[in-house]
Amino acid sequence: MDDLLSEFLTETNESLAVLDLELVKLEQNPNDPALLSNIFRIVHTIKGTCGFLGLPRLEAVAHASENVLGKIRDGELVVTAQAVSLVLKSLDQIKSLMAQLEQNEAEPAGDDGELIQLLNQLAAGGEAAAPAPKPAAPVETPAAPAVAEAPRAAAPAPAAPPVAVAPTAAAPSPAAPTPPVASEAKEPPKEKEVKEAAETKESAVAAQSIRVNVDLLENLMTMVSELVLTRNQLMQILRSQKDSEFGAPLQRLSHVTTELQEGVMKTRMQPIGNAWAKLPRIVRDLSHELRKKIDLQMHGADTELDRQVLEMIKDPLTHMVRNSADHGIEMPADRAAKGKPETGTITLNAYHEGGHIIIEIGDDGRGLDIDKIKQKALATGITSESDLAAMSEQQIQQFIFKAGFSTAAKVTSVSGRGVGMDVVRTNIEKIGGTVEMKSQRGKGSTFVIKIPLTLAIVSALIVECAGERFAIPQISVVELVRASANSETTIEWLNNAPVLRLRDRLLPLVSLQELLKLGKRDEKPSETFIIVAQVGTYAFGIMVDRVFDTEEIVVKPVSPILRDISMFSGNTILGDGSVIMILDPNGIAAATGEITVSESAVRTDSAQARAGAREDVTSLLLFRAGKGAPKAVPLALIARLEEIDLAQIEYSHDKPVVQYRGKLMPLVTIEASASTGTSGRQPVLVFADKDHTMGLMVDEIVDIVEDRLNIEVAVDRPGLIGSAIIAGKATDLIDAGFYLTQAFTDWFGAHSDGEFQSDKGKRVLLVDDSPFFRNLLTPLLSVAGYDVTTVESGDRALSLCEAGADFDVIISDIEMPGMNGFEFATAVKQAGRWQKTPLVALSSHATPRDLDRGRAAGFNDYVAKFDREALLHTLAETLNGERGAA
Amino acid sequence: MSKDMSENEVRGKGMAAGEQGEFVSITVAGQLFGIPVLQVQDVLGPQRITRIPLAPPEVAGSLNLRGRIVTAIDLRTRLRLPPLPEGRSGMSVVVDHGGELYSVLVDSVGEVLSLGAEMAERNPATLDPVWREVSGGIYRLDKNLLIVLDVARVLDFSARAEAA
- Shortest CA distance to A344 belongs to which of A362, A358, A360, A359? A362
Give me the torsion for CA of A380, A382, A385, A391, rounded to 10°.
Answer: -130
**Residues above pLDDT 70, as percent of chain A:** 74
Assess whether pLDDT exceeds 50 at residue A131.
no
Q: How far is A507 from chain B (nearest CA, A)?
A: 25
Q: What residues of chain A have any CB closer than 8 angstroms to a CB in chain B?
A: 222-223, 225-226, 229, 468, 516-518, 556, 558-562, 565, 567-568, 571-573, 577-581
Task: Say how many CB pairs under 8 Å bridge A and B.
Answer: 63
Residue A851 exposed, middle or buried by CB count within 10 Å (0-12, 13-18, 19+): middle
**Do the interacting molecules here have an ipTM over 0.90?**
no
Q: How many residues does chain B have?
A: 164
Whether A579 sits inside 8 A of B67 (CB atoms) is no
**Looking at the partner chain, which of B50, B68, B71 has a beta carbon nearest the beta carbon of A561?**
B71
SS3 A800: helix
- Give pLDDT tens digits for A796-819: 888 887 777 788 888 888 777 777
CB A776 within 8 A of CB A633: no
Q: Which residues of A touch B53 (CB under 8 A)?
A: 468, 516-518, 567, 581
Assess whether pLDDT exceeds 50 at residue A493.
yes
Assess whether pLDDT exceeds 90 at residue A112.
no
Q: Which residues of B touch A580 (CB under 8 A)?
A: 50
Q: How far is A849 from chain B (nearest CA, A)?
A: 52
In sequence order, the 6+-apart residues with CB closer than 8 A to the CB of A417 are A406, A411
Alpha carbons within 13 A on the beta-carbon side of A65: 34
Q: What is the mean pLDDT of chain A?
A: 73
H-helix segments, A519-642: 585-592, 597-611
Give me the torsion for CA of A813, A817, A822, A825, rounded to 10°.
Answer: -70
Give the pLDDT mean for A706-717. Answer: 64
Please compute Rg for chain B using Cα positions: 15
The residue in chain B having the minimum alpha-carbon distance to the alpha carbon of residue A572 is B69
Q: Please indicate whether residue A771 or residue A38 has the higher confidence score (pLDDT).
A: A38
CB A592 within 8 A of CB A515: yes
pLDDT for position A417: 40
Assess whether pLDDT exceeds 60 at residue A824.
yes
In sequence order, the 6+-apart residues with CB closer than 8 A to the CB of A244 are A238, A250
Instruction: For the beta carbon of residue A518, count every other beta carbon within 10 angstroms.
Output: 19
**Distances in whole angstroms, Cα of residue B53 to Cα of each of A513, A567, A768:** 10, 9, 56
Q: How far is A568 from chain B (nearest CA, A)?
A: 10
End-to-end CA distance of chain A: 127
Q: What is the mean pLDDT of chain B?
A: 81
Note the pTM of the prediction, 2 decimals: 0.44
Alpha carbons within 13 A on the beta-carbon side of A568: 26
The residue in chain B having the minimum alpha-carbon distance to the alpha carbon of residue A219 is B68
- Shortest CA distance to B45 belongs to which of B103, B85, B96? B103
Could you tell me the pLDDT band of residue A837, with boundaries at 50, 70 and 90?
confident
Give me the torsion for CA of A25, A29, A33, A34, rounded to 10°.
Answer: -40
Q: Greatest CA span in chain B, whole angstroms?
A: 45
CB B81 within 8 A of CB A594: no
In sequence order, the 6+-apart residues with CB closer than 8 A to the CB of A166 are A56, A180
In sequence order, the 6+-apart residues with CB closer than 8 A to the CB of B136 are B11, B14, B15, B17, B147, B148, B149, B150, B153
**Residues above pLDDT 90, as percent of chain A:** 2
Give the pLDDT mean for B54-63. Answer: 89
Whether B53 sits inside 8 A of A517 (CB atoms) is yes
**Looking at the partner chain, which of A222, A556, A562 has a beta carbon nearest the beta carbon of B52?**
A562
Give the C-alpha separation, B164 to B157, whole Å: 11
Could you tell me the pLDDT band of residue A618, with boundaries at 50, 70 and 90?
low
- Shortest CA distance to B78 belongs to which of B10, B136, B161, B15? B161
Q: What is the DSSP letter of A326?
A: I
- Give pLDDT tens digits for B11-32: 444 444 445 689 999 999 889 9
Give the pLDDT mean for A182-198. Answer: 43
Give the C-alpha separation, A533 to A555, whole Å: 19
Give the pLDDT mean for A598-624. Answer: 49
**Distances in whole angstroms, Cα of residue A694 to Cα of each of A584, A637, A691:** 43, 12, 10
Whether B53 sits inside 8 A of A580 (CB atoms) is no
pLDDT for position A749: 45
- Give pLDDT tens digits for A722-754: 777 776 777 887 877 777 767 765 554 444 443
pLDDT for position A677: 65
What is the per-residue burial (b if ≥16 Cβ within 10 Å, else e) of A298-329? Answer: bebeebbbbbbbbebbbebbbbbbbbbbbbbb
Site from B2, B50, B155 to mutate, A interface, most A CB atoms within 10 angstroms: B50
Whether B63 sits inside 8 A of A579 (CB atoms) is yes
Contacts 24+ apart (CB under 8 A), A514-519: A515/A567, A515/A588, A515/A591, A515/A592, A516/A465, A516/A468, A516/A567, A516/B53, A516/B54, A517/B53, A517/B54, A518/A465, A518/A466, A518/A467, A518/A468, A518/B53, A519/A466
Could you tell me the pLDDT band of residue A716, with boundaries at 50, 70 and 90?
low
Cis peptide bond upstream of A161, omega within 30: yes
Q: How far is B33 from chain A (nearest CA, A)?
A: 23
The residue in chain A having the minimum alpha-carbon distance to the alpha carbon of residue B58 is A561
Q: What residues of chain B have any CB closer than 8 angstroms to a CB in chain A?
A: 48-56, 59, 61-64, 66-69, 71, 98, 100, 102, 155, 157
What is the per-residue burial (b if ≥16 Cβ within 10 Å, else e) of A798-832? Answer: bebbeeeeebbbbbbbbbbeebbbbebbbbbbeee
Site from A561, A572, A580 to mutate, B interface, most B CB atoms within 10 angstroms: A561
Q: Which residues of A touch B102 (CB under 8 A)?
A: 559
Whether B67 sits inside 8 A of A229 (CB atoms) is yes
Q: Which of A541-545, B65-69, B103-107 has the lowest mean pLDDT?
A: B65-69
What is the per-residue burial (b if ≥16 Cβ within 10 Å, else e) of A393-417? Answer: ebbbbbbbbbeebbbbeeeeebbbe
The residue in chain A having the minimum alpha-carbon distance to the alpha carbon of residue B154 is A561
Q: What are phi and psi of B90, to 5 degrees?
A: -95, -165
- Give pLDDT tens digits for A509-525: 988 888 888 877 666 66
Site from A564, A581, A582, A584 to mutate, B interface, most B CB atoms within 10 angstroms: A581
Most confident of A512-521, A632-641, A709-718: A512-521
pLDDT for position A865: 67
Site from B44, B51, B52, B103 to mutate, A interface, most A CB atoms within 10 angstroms: B52
Instruction: For the beta carbon of residue A527, count every other beta carbon within 10 angstroms.
Output: 13
Q: How far is A513 from chain B (nearest CA, A)?
A: 10
- Amino acid at position A194, single letter: V
What is the per-residue burial (b if ≥16 Cβ within 10 Å, else e) of A608-641? Answer: ebeeeeebbbbbbbbbbbbeebbbbbbbbbbeeb
- Give pLDDT tens digits for A195-251: 444 444 444 444 566 777 878 887 888 788 778 777 877 877 887 787 788 888 888
Q: Which residues of B touch A556 (CB under 8 A)?
A: 69
CB B146 within 8 A of CB B23: yes
CB B133 within 8 A of CB B52: no
In sequence order, the 6+-apart residues with CB closer than 8 A to the CB of B160 are B130, B133
Could you tell me the pLDDT band of residue B119, with boundaries at 50, 70 and 90?
confident
CA angle A350, A355, A357 (to 5 degrees): 20
Residue A558 exposed, middle or buried by CB count within 10 Å (0-12, 13-18, 19+): buried
- Shortest CA distance to A678 belongs to which of A646, A652, A650, A656? A646
